[in-house]
Structure 1
Amino acid sequence: MTLAEAVPQTMIFNKGTFFTDIDNRGEQQEWFSLDYDKSNWMGVAVPGAWDFYSHAFWGYEGIGWYCLEIEGARVQPGYNQRLQFGRVSGQAKVWINGELAGEHIGGYLPFEYDITSFLHTNGTNQVVVRVDNVPRSNWLPGTTLIEWIQYGGILQPVKLVTSSTCFISSAAIEASPDQGGAKVTCKVALTNTEAASFEGIIRLKIPAGSNIGNAEADNAVHTYTASIDVVCPAGQKAFFTTTIDMSKAQLWTLESPQLYDVMVQLLGRGGEAVDEKQERFGVRTIEVQGTQICLNGEPIIIKGVNRYDEVDGYGQTVPEEVIRADLLKIKQAGVNCIRTHYPMDPLHMDIMDEIGLLLMEEIPLNWWLKPWEIDAEVDEAENNEIIDRAESALQEMIERGRNHPCIIVWSMCNESGTNKPYGINAMRRLMRKARELDSTRLVSFVAVGHTSGHQAFDEADIVFINLYYGSVIEPFAYHIDQLNEFATAPTANHLRDTVAEFQGKPVVVTEFGMQAITGIHGDHRYSEAFQAAYIESVWQAITSVDGVQGGLLWCWADYYHRRTLAGAWSAAYGSYGVVTIDRQDKEALHTLTRLFQDIV
């Protein structure tokens, strides 16, 4: 293989074998060993949740083992080879040919291992992955009381990436409007695995497109370029920053989501290709001006929905065409923003960039510290571990998503003990870290609206609260003619108090909603008509209070509950969606569309 052929080369795994470890004996019996007989393991597609391997696995929380294979012909001596996991649900321990490559805890974000030294060219290389998706109180989301189903297994693609021994680890793009054009700053990370220092050149190319006009560097192909000489010490990682001034650039907007590609090339001193990486970006700003949220300097009202990324029959491993159809349907409903409780498959962000949807992405820190129990004891050592993990997840989330113009807010948590001294300090720590890592986006966290004392909002850009008056918060509304008394009025009163408490900051209702079961009609709770009327009554309250800049409905689609969830949600199914889990419309979708499309 020539160097050019190896810059870069990616193998995507599409199959493997699987075995369950209900009794947790696999490590003791060394199932990771090359000598252990895996011929009786079941063949499975990768990626995909193990919940769909058999009816017996639905909702299974436990341990499962995977074996993947890398043929010796895929091993390239003299090059660097990395094993990249898009997402493994829970804890992953990875062995290559019987040797431990690493361990990762956290079921939502990508990780990788340099496996160059583990591979051999003769025969087949074994990749063995032990996956544990049992919730732990010291893991994210910070509690064992979890609403969403914990799909198990390898949920996003696994790739073997072959590159030169000095390669581009990442390329972070910051693009800001500048006098009809844009200033594009690119921070490139190089990793050098060689025993000798690497000297070369980083070159950036941005094709401007024929609709943009003449470019400074190369009028024939309309390309902006920049170069920088680099030295990366042996065995180290180094960062290099350079800026391109685009004399003309179109803004990324909700109506016209203009995107640009930047090609980052690593060249040797002689100009030979060493590595390359392509990233997409958009030119836009997001900021708060007084109580307004401004996109490209223009105030916007958040017309949003919360969304889990599961679809019936797929779990959270959903084909691109299904994701695209769902997001386009959301856009057509007049929605301009989506919020998630955890980082999603990056396919969502790619599509949202393309079609013009905003994203509020959240650390998977949820129901932590029981905010509804003011006097609950705090185990400081355990919670230090949780917030350490939250900070790691924040960094991974920002590093993965920072080039996506659709992302406008980093959220630190949902409905957690941010009204307690430990929680207040944790929010301040996480928000400060988010600003340090990315100063171009807004930061906040989401509080339970019926509690008080969330003092860290004084450092947040926006005050986010969840309100369920008449729905989850008593007194309940049982008939449509009770909604004004039990939903509209208390919601509006609460919002007026919140605006007064946090003067000068925008307020957004990050959750409101009511369940409805498809096919049930009439004037009572859980009917389609009642859900539609409830949504309209609360939206009326949200839009009636000055300083409140919109809301996000809970939620877009129905979802499965984790099987151990009890209490108010007595069924294993959350029917809060305006569409069903298989994306069939409810009456409320038409109401939501009318309400959202009425606002310009």
Structure 2
Amino acid sequence: MTFSPDPLIALRPWEAPELTSWNRLPMNAVDRRSGAIPLDGDWRFQLLPAPDAPVGGAWTQAYVPGAWTLQDAGDLPQYTNVTMPFPDIPPHSPAANPTGVYEREIDVPAGWAGRRIVLQVGAAESVLLVHVDGRPVGVSKDSHLAAEFDVTQAVRPGARATVRLTVVKWSDASHIEDQDQWWHGGLTRSVLLYATDPLHLADVTVRARRDGELRVDCRVRDARGPLPEGWYLTGELDGVPLAQDAAFDAANAEDERVSGFLGEARLGTTVPGVRTWTAETPELYALTVRLHRADGTVADTSRHRVGFRDVEIVGRDLLVNGERIFVRGVNRHDFHPLTGRTVTPEDMRADLVLLKRFGFNAIRTAHYPNDPALYDLADELGFYVADEADIEAHDHAHEIADDPRYLNAFVDRVARMVLRDKNHPSVIVWSLGNESDYGAHHDAAAGWVRHHDPARPLQYEGAAKLDWAATDDASDIACPMYAPIEECVAHALSGHQTRPLIQCEYSHAMGNSNGTLADFWAAVEETPGLQGGFVWE
């Protein structure tokens, strides 16, 4: 290893599976788009042969968001299915490890003095190292979720700062991002800078039921330390004020687990004659949550679109608003033939409108959380979403599923997906990932989700395939891949079925026709216990 005074390089986070992040802010569902400064566009760029190679003086340009593998940087995309693109075993990465260094100046508004300043990187494949003016700021892994860093102490309002984002292509994380897809490198989603008051909304959790009951749970923090006295929350739904839940606040005041630096409050209402959300009737309401200082001025605001609906499993049926549904689904990658994993909202909308026209009503985000804009569109246009964590250890699945070095990574990836996407009515199922065998890590991740969000079922093909009729594994749905129609029908008629059977992949469409579709759907529509599936791809 080449000596480097940089502590992030010396740490070698690209070969430390126990380290999922350093100095990264917790994931949350607060809307930060208003007032943010986009940092998309041309950045100075160098492609190094390894992460510990020295940065030189010769810079080219790379466009953000985008993969350097599609921008003539000297490193091409690769396609593999099961086999990793390098021979090194987990958690190791190859010595020849393309590393992109992105750099640009940012002008920090003078009006942000006294505010909390946050840098958000939408996606980096696969390890992100962040520096501001040469100072290490943070580390993040997971190629398909945003990373946020508090840079308040690293920048000066009214002055210019240099941001450097270093992206290491191969890492310990690559072994659990071994999806059947093209391998790229780069900053594939937008980068932005935003500011909040030190007193800010740390998270907002919305639960909206089909009977019209709305519950909005808010967490409040202050970047300066203990919370000030007198803060309070207000909210409105389609312009109608929400009530504060006094019983909840009283219970929290007596709960020793709520400390002086974490505030919790609940707002709520019951909407008479509520218009419920389904894929066929995607009714949405406008929710605004405001955090106030003691003098009544607004410190922070978050806006959401709310869909009232219930998801539950009763016997062997997946129900939405108490009704059994058919899942006419498709597996979806973030993919564009020219820009790779960088897809515009306009392209996504065109894809979804086309799917809608041909009768599809569901999407599985194969095999990672998709671009955030996809979920907004699914809420608006009406699609059921099986939201899938960025976990696939295909080449080394059996070894990694119980390797304690990767336990934190599995739970972290599932939990952060849930924390980001929990307020979307379109998301009706959480998926623990894809083709990663079945081990203790899946049970740990499932336990976290079932505690945090008991209102949605879980699915994981690797658990359910062991026994479609099991009742004690990490999957609430039997979700096989390419199971013969005859076997599915026989299972549904056997008297042993305990949970819905919805194929997570069927009718493989890559390079050939979708044969037997009519037979498949005739069986689904005629056989109680079968509810459809997701076409690949």
The TM-score with structure 1 as length reference comes to 0.73
> What is the alpha-carbon distance in structure 1 between the residues aligned to residue 368 and residue 284 of structure 2?
25
Q: Could you say which residue in structure 2 is the equivalent of 1:10? A: 36
Q: Any residues of structure 2 matched to 1:162-173 within 5 Å, and which?
A: 162-173=195-206
Counterpart amino acid of 1:345?
D
Contact 2:492 2:527 in 1 (8 A): no
Q: Could you say which residue in structure 2 is the equivalent of 1:397? A: 417
User: How far did 1:389 drift?
Assistant: 0.7
Match of 2:517 among 531, 535, 551: 535
- Residue 62 (str. 1) matches residue 77 (str. 2): no
> What is the alpha-carbon distance in structure 2 between the residues aligned to residue 7 and residue 508 of structure 1?
36
Q: Could you say which residue in structure 1 is the equivalent of 2:218? A: 188
> What is the alpha-carbon distance in structure 2 between the residues aligned to residue 59 and residue 133 of structure 1?
11
Contact 1:193 1:236 in 2 (8 A): no
Counterpart amino acid of 1:366?
E
> What is the alpha-carbon distance in structure 1 between the residues aligned to residue 493 and residue 236 of structure 2?
44
Deviation digits for residues 488-519 of structure 1 (CA, Å, limit 9, x no counterpart): xx4312552477485231111111123464xx
Q: Could you say which residue in structure 2 is the equivalent of 1:514? A: 508
Q: 1:509 to 1:412 in 2, by over 3 A?
A: same
In structure 2, the gaps of 5 or more residues are 1-31, 79-96
CA RMSD between the two structures: 3.0
Deviation digits for residues 242-264 of structure 1 (CA, Å, limit 9, x no counterpart): 32233342101222211112111
> What is the alpha-carbon distance in structure 2 between the residues aligned to residue 435 and residue 234 of structure 1?
25
Contact 1:416 1:448 in 2 (8 A): no
Q: 1:11 to 1:270 in 2, by over 3 A?
A: same
Q: Could you say which residue in structure 2 is the equivalent of 1:438? A: 453
Contact 2:179 2:394 in 1 (8 A): no
Q: 1:288 to 1:127 in 2, by over 3 A?
A: same
- Residue 22 (str. 1) matches residue 49 (str. 2): yes
Contact 1:446 1:466 in 2 (8 A): yes
Contact 2:111 2:158 in 1 (8 A): no
Match of 1:292 among 301, 317, 321: 317
Q: 1:77 to 1:194 in 2, by over 3 A?
A: same
User: How far did 1:546 drift?
Assistant: 3.6
Q: 1:273 to 1:449 in 2, by over 3 A?
A: closer
Counterpart amino acid of 1:174?
R
- Residue 142 (str. 1) matches residue 176 (str. 2): yes
Q: 1:451 to 1:283 in 2, by over 3 A?
A: closer
> What is the alpha-carbon distance in structure 1 between the residues aligned to residue 400 and residue 258 of structure 2?
43
Contact 2:220 2:262 in 1 (8 A): yes
Q: Could you say which residue in structure 2 is the equivalent of 1:269? A: 294
User: How far did 1:464 drift?
Assistant: 0.7
Deviation digits for residues 320-363 of structure 1 (CA, Å, limit 9, x no counterpart): 11110101111111111111211000100000000110000111
User: How far did 1:430 drift?
Assistant: 2.0
Deviation digits for residues 539-563 of structure 1 (CA, Å, limit 9, x no counterpart): 44544544211121111xxxxxxxx
Contact 1:415 1:448 in 2 (8 A): no
Deviation digits for residues 278-328 of structure 1 (CA, Å, limit 9, x no counterpart): 122110011112221111111111111111120211211111111101011
Match of 2:68 among 50, 55, 77: 50
> What is the alpha-carbon distance in structure 2 between the residues aligned to residue 169 and residue 293 of structure 1?
33
Aligned-partner SS, 1:118: coil
Q: 1:7 to 1:356 in 2, by over 3 A?
A: closer
> What is the alpha-carbon distance in structure 1 between the residues aligned to residue 468 and residue 245 of structure 2?
50
Q: Could you say which residue in structure 2 is the equivalent of 1:357? A: 383
User: How far did 1:87 drift?
Assistant: 1.4
Counterpart amino acid of 1:189?
R
Contact 1:203 1:228 in 2 (8 A): no
Q: Could you say which residue in structure 2 is the equivalent of 1:481? A: none
Match of 1:205 among 231, 235, 241: 235
- Residue 406 (str. 1) matches residue 420 (str. 2): no
Counterpart amino acid of 1:284?
R
Q: 1:226 to 1:463 in 2, by over 3 A?
A: same
Contact 2:491 2:497 in 1 (8 A): no
> What is the alpha-carbon distance in structure 1 between the residues aligned to residue 216 and residue 316 of structure 2?
32
Q: Could you say which residue in structure 2 is the equivalent of 1:336? A: 361
User: How far did 1:447 drift?
Assistant: 3.4
Deviation digits for residues 559-589 of structure 1 (CA, Å, limit 9, x no counterpart): xxxxxxxxxxxxxxxxxxxxxxxxxxxxxxx
Q: Any residues of structure 2 matched to 1:295-314 within 5 Å, and which?
A: 295-314=320-339
Q: Any residues of structure 2 matched to 1:235-254 within 5 Å, and which?
A: 236-254=261-279
Structure with higher RCO (Cα < 8 A, 6+ apart): 2
> What is the alpha-carbon distance in structure 1 between the residues aligned to residue 488 and residue 411 of structure 2?
31
Contact 1:512 1:538 in 2 (8 A): no
Contact 2:290 2:302 in 1 (8 A): yes
Aligned-partner SS, 1:348: helix
Q: 1:513 to 1:449 in 2, by over 3 A?
A: farther
Q: 1:467 to 1:272 in 2, by over 3 A?
A: same
Contact 1:47 1:158 in 2 (8 A): yes
Q: 1:100 to 1:508 in 2, by over 3 A?
A: same
Contact 2:279 2:361 in 1 (8 A): yes
Which has the greater radius of gyration? Answer: 1
> What is the alpha-carbon distance in structure 2 between the residues aligned to residue 100 and residue 121 of structure 1?
19
Aligned-partner SS, 2:447: helix
Counterpart amino acid of 2:227?
S
> What is the alpha-carbon distance in structure 2 between the residues aligned to residue 401 and residue 13 of structure 1?
23
Contact 1:194 1:235 in 2 (8 A): no
Contact 2:400 2:406 in 1 (8 A): no
Aligned-partner SS, 1:354: helix
> What is the alpha-carbon distance in structure 2 between the residues aligned to residue 173 and residue 249 of structure 1?
16
Q: Any residues of structure 2 matched to 1:23-172 within 5 Å, and which?
A: 23-26=50-53, 29=54, 31=55, 37=57, 40-54=58-72, 56-59=74-77, 62-73=98-109, 76-121=112-157, 123-136=159-172, 139=173, 142=176, 145-172=178-205
Counterpart amino acid of 2:336?
V
Aligned-partner SS, 1:509: strand
User: How far did 1:177 drift?
Assistant: 2.7
Q: 1:430 to 1:24 in 2, by over 3 A?
A: closer
Q: How many residues align?
A: 478
> What is the alpha-carbon distance in structure 2 between the residues aligned to residue 281 and residue 543 of structure 1?
31
> What is the alpha-carbon distance in structure 1 between the residues aligned to residue 331 and residue 111 of structure 2?
44
Q: 1:448 to 1:284 in 2, by over 3 A?
A: closer
Deviation digits for residues 410-439 of structure 1 (CA, Å, limit 9, x no counterpart): 011223322xxxx2x333322221111111
Q: 1:276 to 1:108 in 2, by over 3 A?
A: same
Contact 1:262 1:279 in 2 (8 A): yes
User: How far did 1:109 drift?
Assistant: 0.9
Moved more, 127-136 or 67-76: 67-76
Moved more, 74-83 or 444-453: 444-453
Match of 1:426 among 441, 450, 454: 441
> What is the alpha-carbon distance in structure 2 between the residues aligned to residue 437 and residue 198 of structure 1?
28
Aligned-partner SS, 1:343: coil
- Residue 387 (str. 1) matches residue 404 (str. 2): no
